[in-house]
Amino acid sequence: MKGLENVELLPEPDDARILSVIDASAVGFQDQWRSEVTGWAPMQAVPVPRLRRRRLLLTNGILLSVLVVIMLYVWNSGLLFIEIPPPKSEWAIEQSQFQELEDLGLTGEGIRVCMVDTGIDLSNPALATLQVTFKDMIGSSSTPVDYGFIAHGTLMAGILVSSSHQIGIAPNVNLAMVAALGADEDDLNSGSEDTVARSIRWCQDDFEADIISLSLGGEQNFDMQTEGSSVSAVRRAVDSGIFVVAAAGNDGGSNDDGYVSVPANVPRVITVGASTEDMEVWANSSAGSQTLPNGDARQHPHLKPEVIAPGENIISTGAGDTWFSSSGTSDSTVFVTGALSLLLEAYPEYRPTSTSNGQCIDIVKTALMNSSLKYDETGLHDDNWGYGQLQASAWHATLATEVGNC
């Protein structure tokens, strides 16, 4: 057995004629670990005498090397014949009642949605046919690009408009993506408030958005004597009847400061927390305060956050032919943006016009308040749950009964 000193042969417990090659350096693990993983336990796995010759081992080694090279080539070329599909997050679709709206034929057709994020990478086949209006606020690219450390904007866009595998919840919206955030030295996605503010104004003035989706946010600073530029831009948008959906933030738990992110703190914004597959509040979803910076109490239907939506292990598009899982109120924000897109398609009278003043937003948010799945039967609002869990179909049905002029 010269040359095979580092190899042991272990018979299979069900058929001793089948032998597995074992590294002899693992002898110290033989009694416990090896017996467990090879199926011998509770019996001890005992190697048999080495029977193979060096020439055969060398031949097998060469064949194995060739096979590895071939497999690497096939893998890198995208020609792998055994396709293992990535998982889906269909539970989020079912939990939020999107199937019922799809059955009504609603797809977001004609609704103008503007996302402010890290940009978008269209190399994923699920986004290859997407017609997107792209605006670069941090670089000079005239074609879509994602500046994120991870392709955050691409992930968010996929939740809304993916055309394959995990189908987007409002795939026929007219989408604009503004690149306002990018990777920083800490491998995080960040950007200046002024850049975000300019992006929001572009969504309103240049793209003429019906909905502005903000899967971003910063900390509230109560020492400021004036409101920040992003808050001013958002306030201008909602007071013109443009819907703004924003992430509550991901600082929940024991270290939660008790405030939603900026500009999600603006009253008419729909502020979104994250929920889990078990329909609980996601651990890191930010709680809200029901007191305005000037000390006044917030009023219904503008308590913060307004709603929670799926935000844990959400499957969406990455760069190239990849799919990723992400968690956070960013994902939840897009679910509410998608639901709102379907509602505005069904009820176009609530879309902003040149004479809108924000009253339509109040009516739509009242319907959201009344249709959300409550956290319990005793209260209307909770600092973590908001008015409850997003129920898109119930929101659609409730809006049909709302009375008000806008």
Tens of pLDDT along 94-121? Answer: 999 999 999 999 999 999 999 999 999 9
Cis bond leading into 42, ω under 30°? yes
Confidence grade of residue 283 (pLDDT, cut at 50, 70, 90): very high
Q: How many CB atoms lie within 10 A of CB 93?
A: 19
Look at residue 293 in the predicted model and tell me its pLDDT.
84
Task: Answer yes or no: is pLDDT of 58 > 50.
Answer: no
**Would you say 151 and 123 are in contact if contact means Cβ atoms under 8 Å apart?**
no
Average pLDDT across the chain, whole number: 85
Is pLDDT at 161 greater than 60 in this prediction? yes
Which pairing describes strands 211-214 and 243-247: parallel, antiparallel, or unpaired? parallel
- Rounded to an integer, what distance in angstroms lies between the CA atom of residue 385 and that of residue 346? 27
Nearest to 182 by CA among 139, 153, 148: 148
User: How far separated are the first and last CA of the chain, in Å rounded?
Assistant: 89
* Domains of the chain, each with CATH number or no CATH: 7-77 (no CATH), 90-399 (3.40.50.200)
* Distance, CA of 56 to chain centre: 52
Could you read off the pLDDT of 234-258 as tens digits, one per residue?
A: 999 999 999 999 999 999 988 888 8
- Residue 85 pLDDT level (bands cut at 50, 70, 90): low
Read off the pLDDT band of 220 (50, 70, 90): confident
Percentage of the chain lying above the pLDDT 70 cut: 77
Query: Is a pLDDT exceeding 60 seen at residue 28?
Result: no
Residue 28 Rama label (left phi>0; alpha psi -120 to 50; beta): alpha
Q: Is the pLDDT of residue 61 over 90?
A: no
Write the CB contacts of 220 (distance below 8 Å, at least 6 apart in sequence).
257, 259, 260, 261, 262, 265, 293
Distances (CA, A) of 398 to 1, 38, 109, 366: 80, 59, 21, 9
Nearest to 312, CA basis, from 340, 284, 272: 284
Phi and psi at 29, nearest 5°, equal -100, 0
Q: What percent of the chain has pLDDT over 90?
A: 67
Q: Report the C-alpha dihedral over residues 374, 380, 383, 385, rounded to 10 degrees.
A: 10
Is residue 126 scored above 60 in pLDDT?
yes
DSSP-derived letter for residue 286 is: P
Strand duo 211-214 + 112-117: pairing: parallel
What pLDDT does 13 receive? 66
Residue 97 CA to residue 394 CA, distance in Å, equals: 8
Match 């272990």 to its residue by tokens.
10
At 78, the pLDDT band (50, 70, 90 cuts) reads very low
Distance CA(244)–CA(280), nearest Å, equals 24
pTM of the predicted structure, to 2 decimals: 0.79
Task: Give the pLDDT band of residue 25 (cuts 50, 70, 90).
Answer: low
Q: What is the pLDDT of residues 335-348, one digit of tens each?
A: 999 999 999 999 99
Buried-state track 11-29, b at ≥16 Cβ within 10 A, e below 16: beeeeeeebeebeeeeeee
- Give the tens place of pLDDT for each residue, 357-371: 999 999 999 999 999
- 189 versus 318: which is more confidently predicted? 318
Residue 24 has pLDDT above 70, yes or no: no
On the question of pLDDT at 141 being above 80, the answer is yes
Mean pLDDT score, 73-89: 51
Kindly tell me the sign of the dihedral angle through the C-alpha atoms of 24, 26, 28, 34: negative
What are the two backbone dihedrals, phi and then psi, of residue 125, each rounded to the nearest 5 degrees?
-55, -30
- Look at residue 54 and tell me whether its pLDDT is greater than 90: no
Which is more confidently placed, 49 or 10? 10
The least confident of 44-48, 66-70, 207-211, 380-384 is 66-70
At 70, the pLDDT band (50, 70, 90 cuts) reads very low
Q: Sign of dihedral through CA atoms 195, 199, 204, 206?
A: positive
Position with higher pLDDT, 167 vs 1: 167
What does the pLDDT read at residue 43?
58
| Under 8 Å between Cβ of 368 and 306 | yes
Cross-strand bridge partners of residue 218:
262
Structure tokens at 395: 């929101």
Q: What is the pLDDT of residue 189?
A: 80
Q: Examine the pLDDT at 55 and tell me if it is beyond 80.
A: no
From CA 317, how far away is CA 41, in angstroms rounded? 43
* CB-based contact 168:162 (threshold 8 Å): yes
pLDDT exceeds cutoff 90 at 225: no
d(CA 387, CA 385): 6
